[in-house]
Amino acid sequence: MSAENWPLVKAILDEVLDLAPPERAIFLDAGGLKPEIRAEVDALLAFEDDAQGLMQLSAVEFAKNFIDDDESDMSGQTVGAYRIVRELGHGGMGAVYLAERTDGKFTQRVALKLLKREMNTSALRRHFEQEREILASLEHPNIARLLDAGTTEDRVPFIAMEYVDGLPIGEYCRVKNLDLNARLELFRTVCGAVDYAHQNLIVHRDLKPSNVMVTHDGVPKLLDFGISKILSKGIDDADSATITRMGLMTPSYASPEQLQKKSVTTLSDVYSLGVILFEMLSGHRPFESKENDLREIYSAVIEHEPMLPSSVIDRHTGEMTSEPYAKSVPGNVTEPVNVRHTGPTSWTLSAGSVRGDLDNIVLKAMRKEPERRYSSAGNLAEDIRRHLNGLTVTARPNTFSYRVTKFVGRNRLGVLAAAVILLAVVGGVGTTLWQARVASAERSRAEKRFNDVRKLANSYLFDVYPEIENLEGSLKAREAIVKNALEYLDSLSAEAGSDLELQAELATAYEKVGDVQEH
């Protein structure tokens, strides 16, 4: 909350805190408040309703801790064995500082998380101690380690964590100009860290790019388990519910069930991972408001379906756009909702490289219904691995054409070689068949000529000659017939081979020629 808004918010709270809940709603609805003011008032009223037995602060006192000011500068102060260098960031319950060890035992820089003095209540101390227990139980190369813990002289708890000198994951991708595969490998590593936390019964509940820092060596580190939840039954259920109702999360990355204050499970983290991947691929958040209107963001996350990341790359350029996304109501209604561009105006990934598998992976992780998402962060990481290896992914229907496409994609050289061999074989078979057809045609023509000669020889000797042998003046014609018939018979005799029928015909024909020559 800005200091500028605080006087108005405080005045409204003073008016409505003495009213019954139904009267509060009527009063606020009639006030015509700006959406951001109304959202801040509603959040503080929700805290007031939940405060009994958990905190000793009123909503007004509590709200003072969310006002941005410079009064909390602790540079140079000593906390335990550490001297604070500068503030790294702050939130509703406390702040994180870069600090150096000063007891002389060894040189060490840490990220020192300190609960605000005003927030040092029994409920939040329990939650702060729970964060310490969570960090102590997690030993993973991609999760920032717990190094130390304690309390200040005035009993304010602190945690000393591994200091990660790097950039938020989205900024790291842009600054390093990572290609698609490098981004996916980085994201897959983050999924592995989240899956490890889940296997240890820890839900992070505030996954976002600023809580995933990447070192200059390219190692991602998961940070800030400040509002995480232990899944073991009966542990801090009331405190966990309070944290949820206080709104200590980031709406643009929170799951629909978180915003609706429903049960939060590991699948809520899967949703947030989907949002992070969406932003890493497209350079945009799937849901954002131009005016930072929390109601608009809540409505978008709960009611609307995101665009495809590839479509966002295609359609959005510049720092801010206002392309619509599809509203999930009957009739295919669309309403324009602004999408904030969080990267440079020139995006390095192409829509074509994201279209298909990656679109579907993101949308599966971000489904409204938790049971329709990936069942674990590990399964999400596995689909990323399968995509990187050219295999089919579970986010898409396993059709025959899809399987063939993926097979060809991951075996390009083998398929190309097989295609060349197949073409050679087909070409060879085709040539052989063509040659066979040519030979068959030649054989047919030869047989036809042979039969024609055979018929002609027989016709001369047995049909034509008898008709003219007794005619006057036909001697020369008869001599020509005999000569031609002998030539035909000699030709047939050379090709008779073992054809007994032809040999018999030739014998009869030669005998006929002999008879003719005797006359």
- Mean pLDDT is lowest, of 100-114, 169-183, 481-495, for 481-495
The segment with the largest mean pLDDT, out of 200-209, 364-373, 501-510, is 364-373
| Alpha carbons 213 and 25: distance in angstroms, whole number | 41
Local structure of 383: helix, strand or coil: helix
Mean pLDDT throughout 483-497? 72
Please tell me the predicted confidence (pLDDT) of residue 400: 53
Tokens 């971000």 locate to 366
Higher pLDDT, 264 or 242: 264
Tokens 């018999």 locate to 504
Q: Are strands 212-215 and 339-340 parallel, antiparallel or unpaired?
A: unpaired
Eight-class DSSP state of 144: P
- Does residue 206 carry a catalytic annotation? yes
For the chain, percent helix, then strand, then coil, each to nearest 5?
A: 55, 15, 35
Say if residue 293's pLDDT is above 80. Answer: no
Instruction: Specify the long-range contacts of residues 50-57, CB closer than 8 Å, at least 24 apart.
Output: 50/241, 50/242, 50/245, 50/246, 54/121, 54/122, 54/123, 54/238, 54/239, 54/242, 55/121, 55/122, 55/123, 55/124, 55/242, 56/121, 56/122, 57/118, 57/119, 57/121
Please tell me the predicted confidence (pLDDT) of residue 28: 77
Higher pLDDT, 17 or 2: 17
Say if residue 467's pLDDT is above 70. Answer: no
Say if residue 124's pLDDT is above 60. Answer: yes
- pLDDT tens digit sequence for 161-218: 999 999 999 999 999 999 999 999 999 999 999 999 999 989 999 999 999 999 999 9
- Mean pLDDT is lowest, of 111-115, 234-238, 320-324, for 320-324
What would the DSSP string read from start to end of 162-210? E---EEEHHHHHHHTT--HHHHHHHHHHHHHHHHHHHHTTEE-S---GG
Please tell me the predicted confidence (pLDDT) of residue 385: 97
Burial of 286 per CB tally in 10 Å (0-12, 13-18, 19+):
buried
Higher pLDDT, 398 or 160: 160
Higher pLDDT, 410 or 95: 95
Q: From its phi and psi, is residue 230 left (phi > 0), alpha (psi between -120 and 50) or beta?
A: beta
- Mean pLDDT is lowest, of 115-129, 141-155, 229-243, for 229-243
Helix (H) or strand (E) holding 151: strand 146-151
- State the pTM of this model: 0.64
DSSP E strand boundaries for 285-323: 320-321
What would the two tokens of residue 226 be? Answer: 């400040």
Higher pLDDT, 30 or 184: 184
Higher pLDDT, 133 or 486: 133
Mean pLDDT throughout 461-489? 67
Say if residue 69's pLDDT is above 70. Answer: no
Please tell me the predicted confidence (pLDDT) of residue 486: 76
Tell me how long the chain is: 519
The count of other CB atoms within 10 Å of the CB of residue 299 is: 17
Q: What's the 3-state SS for 427-464?
A: HHHHHHHHHHHHHHHHHHHHHHHHHHHHHHHHHHHHHH
Closest Cα to residue 144, out of 223, 228, 217, 206? 223
HSE-up of 294 (CA within 13 Å, CB side)?
A: 17
Q: What are 222's strand-pairing partners? A: 143, 212
- CB 126 within 8 Å of CB 239: yes
- Mean pLDDT is lowest, of 296-310, 354-368, 421-435, for 421-435
Mean pLDDT throughout 291-310? 87
- pLDDT tens digit sequence for 275-285: 999 999 999 99
- pLDDT tens digit sequence for 215-263: 999 999 999 876 677 776 444 454 555 454 444 678 899 999 999 888 8
Please tell me the predicted confidence (pLDDT) of residue 451: 67
Mean pLDDT throughout 342-360? 78
- Mean pLDDT is lowest, of 58-62, 320-324, 411-415, 446-450, for 320-324
Higher pLDDT, 201 or 25: 201
Higher pLDDT, 141 or 226: 141
Please tell me the predicted confidence (pLDDT) of residue 235: 46
| Alpha carbons 207 and 229: distance in angstroms, whole number | 13
Q: Which of 68, 103, 195, 206 is catalytic?
A: 206
Say if residue 362's pLDDT is above 90. Answer: yes
How does the average pLDDT of the chain come out, rounded? Answer: 76
Say if residue 146's pLDDT is above 80. Answer: yes
**pLDDT band (50, 70, 90) for residue 112:** very high
In the chain, % of residues over pLDDT 70: 65
What would the two tokens of residue 396 be? Answer: 């898409």
CA distance to 163, 342, 513, per residue, from 378 (Å): 26, 27, 100
| Alpha carbons 454 and 290: distance in angstroms, whole number | 100
Say if residue 390's pLDDT is above 80. Answer: yes
- Mean pLDDT is lowest, of 174-188, 314-328, 454-468, 503-517, for 314-328
Higher pLDDT, 163 or 316: 163
b/e sequence 194-226, b meaning 16+ C-beta within 10 Å: bbbbbeeebbbbbbbbbbbbbeeeeebbbbbbb
**pLDDT band (50, 70, 90) for residue 329:** very low
- Mean pLDDT is lowest, of 123-127, 146-150, 466-470, for 466-470
Contacts of 60 by beta carbon, 8 Å cutoff, 6+ apart: 10, 13, 14, 17, 44
| Alpha carbons 94 and 62: distance in angstroms, whole number | 12
In the chain, % of residues over pLDDT 90: 33
The segment with the largest mean pLDDT, out of 323-337, 351-365, 397-411, is 351-365
Give Rg (Cα) of the chain. Answer: 44
